[in-house]
Amino acid sequence: MTDRARIIPLIVACPLFLQNLDTSIMATALPSIARSLGVEALHLNLAITSYLLSLAVCLPASGWLADRFGARRVFCSAIGLFSLASALCGIAMSLPQLVVFRVLQGMGGAMMVPVGRLILLRSVPPARMVAAMVWFTVPGAVGRLAGPLLGGVVVTFTSWRWIFLLNVPFGVIGVLCALAFIEDTHDALDERFDLPGFILLSTGLVGLVGGLDTAGRGLVPQWVTFAFTGTGALSMLLYWLYSRRHADAIIDPLLLRYKAYRTAVLGGMPLRIGIGASPFLMPLMLQLGFGLSPLTSGSLSVATAVGSLAVRGVMSTAIRRIGFRTLLIAATCVTGCFYACYGLFRPGTPHLLIFCVLLVGGLFNSLAMVTLNTLGYADMPKPKMSRATALSGMAQQLSVSLGVAFGASLLVLTARLHGGSAAHLAARDFSPAFFVVGAAVLCSLFFFVKLSKEEGAQLRQL
């Protein structure tokens, strides 16, 4: 693999580093932010889901913008907006302000990762895609690796505000590297932006996630939750009918007719819901349930990222020798079991045991995700790549957003079943939540078992 084929994946993965650093570092700091802003810790799931939902809503426009204005230009602009919004989050004085700035941050993030992936897909030949995808995921793994521990250090010795301000210098470095190494080549695009489709799709996503996010929390009256959900479902139905009559719809559901792509997008949703729920639940359990300090919590949570990074060196060999189907099924089964095992942790569980379990769980989680992300574009024609990356990115962020909201809802439910409340979470409230998350992840198997043994064979010729 040439140096350029390594450098480009690393550069376009810079936004993935920023996003993973931002998400993982914030999860460790949630209790500290809650105390500072005077709100319940679970209410801060709004600060996470608002960001992820903003990502999902704006992602459909990423392909059109990249084709219209050039991938490198959009890529650099997105990193700049993300960095500016990060600085604003660092000076937020209330939860509403933080939520608003997180939405702005999500708008920048929405363009970063899918456009970066599009640059990668257009720059690397299929025969080298698996190796390039491994390099592409390394910065993201480093972000997850640094996030929990860095979050614990920052919260312990300074202020939670620095978890956002730290994004700014990394953003500057990402822009400079992109300008230096990535060519801004694109064809002129005369196609108009699909504004009606964008409005319908955005309304649907906001309504559905907003309904789940506010259900049973006491944040809004119950009728508002029903209104969110009903409006979201109706808008999604209308968008489906609209897209069937308009060939230039912003998101093309017909892309799901490609089997490998459909498996990655729809089949991967339960797996990604677990990926959203677990990092949200774990720091809360360690700090609010077990009474650990942010630094200790971050030191334990970093194990997941260590396992995720450790698997990168064997990915190409594993895919070539085992195959996509077998690897996906095995990794998903083990991942679901490990998520459920997290519910067996107790305040007296040795920290070394917690670290080791999280490390192995992170390894298999990463194994499943890298395999799935690589397989997803195996049968996708190149002219459809930009729209495919937009739909895939939207589905991924929506899944993670649903995972955070799902995890928070499970905690509210289990706390009430145990006679407590979401304002005073106990260690016993977290076990059922992890059991349910582990079971939900296994739902991806219904899609993975339908793959043929030769699926993605052209990508295994490394």
Phi, psi torsion values for 90, nearest 5 degrees: -70, -15
Quick: pLDDT tens for 391-420: 887 888 788 888 888 888 888 888 888 777
Q: Which of 137-141, 156-160, 258-262, 366-370 has the lowest mean pLDDT?
A: 137-141
Q: Which pLDDT band holds residue 381 (cuts at 50, 70, 90)?
A: confident
What confidence tens digit (pLDDT) does each residue in 198-251 have?
A: 889 888 888 888 777 776 666 667 788 888 889 988 998 999 889 888 877 778
pLDDT of residue 98: 92
pLDDT in tens, 67-86: 777 778 888 888 889 989 99
**Integer Cα distance of 307 and 361 in angstroms:** 7
Higher pLDDT, 247 or 296: 296
Comparing 123-127, 378-382, 383-387, which segment has the lowest mean pLDDT? 123-127
Q: What confidence tens digit (pLDDT) does each residue in 2-13 have?
A: 555 567 777 777
Q: How far apart are CA 299 and CA 388, in angstroms?
A: 37
3-state secondary structure the chain: CCHHHHHHHHHHCHHHHHHHHHHHHHHHHHHHHHHHHCCCHHHHHHHHHHHHHHHHHHCHHHHHHHHHHCHHHHHHHHHHHHHHHHHHHCCCCCHHHHHHHHHHHHHHHHHHHHHHHHHHHHHCCHHHHHHHHHHHHHHHHHHHHHHHHHHHHHHHHCCCCHHHHCHHHHHHHHHHHHHHHCCCCCCCCCCCCCHHHHHHHHHHHHHHHHHHHHCCCCCCCHHHHHHHHHHHHHHHHHHHHHHHHCCCCCCCHHHHHCHHHHHHHHHCHHHHHHHHHHHHHHHHHHHHHCCCCHHHHHHHHHHHHHHHHHHHHHHHHHHHHHCHHHHHHHHHHHHHHHHHHHHHCCCCCCHHHHHHHHHHHHHHHHHHHHHHHHHCCCCCCHHHHHHHHHHHHHHHHHHHHHHHHHHHHHHHHHHHHCCCECCECCHHHHHHHHHHHHHHHHHHHHHHCCCCCCCCHHHHCC
The tens digit of pLDDT for each residue in 16-47 reads 777 777 777 787 888 888 888 888 877 787 88
Q: Using the predicted structure, report yes or no on whether residue 462 has a pLDDT greater than 50.
A: no
Q: How far apart are CA 387 and CA 250, in angstroms?
A: 8
pLDDT for the residue 459: 59
State the pTM of this model.
Answer: 0.79
Distance separating alpha carbons of residues 198 and 202, to the nearest angstrom: 6
* Averaged confidence pLDDT in the chain: 81
Give the C-alpha separation, 45 to 57, whole Å: 18
Contact 366, 307 (CB under 8 A): yes
Question: Which two tokens mark 21?
Answer: 């650093």
Burial (CB count <10 Å: 0-12, 13-18, 19+), residue 144:
buried
pLDDT at 175 over 80: yes
Angle at 105 between CA 103 and CA 107, to 5 degrees: 75
Residue 1: the pLDDT is 47
Give domain 3-182+250-460's CATH architecture.
Up-down Bundle (1.20)
Question: Between residues 1 and 422, which one has the greater pLDDT?
Answer: 422
| pLDDT tens, residue by residue, 86-131 | 999 999 998 889 999 999 998 888 777 767 777 776 666 655 666 6
Q: Rounded to whole angstroms, how far apart are CA atoms 264 and 117?
A: 15
* Res 136: pLDDT: 67
Instruction: Report the candidate in 84, 65, 82, 48 with the shortest Cα–Cα distance to residue 400.
Output: 48
* For residues 56-69, average pLDDT: 77
Residues 279-301, mean pLDDT to the nearest whole number: 89
Which has the closest alpha carbon to 186: 12, 377, 386? 386
The pLDDT of 364-370, averaged and rounded, is 85
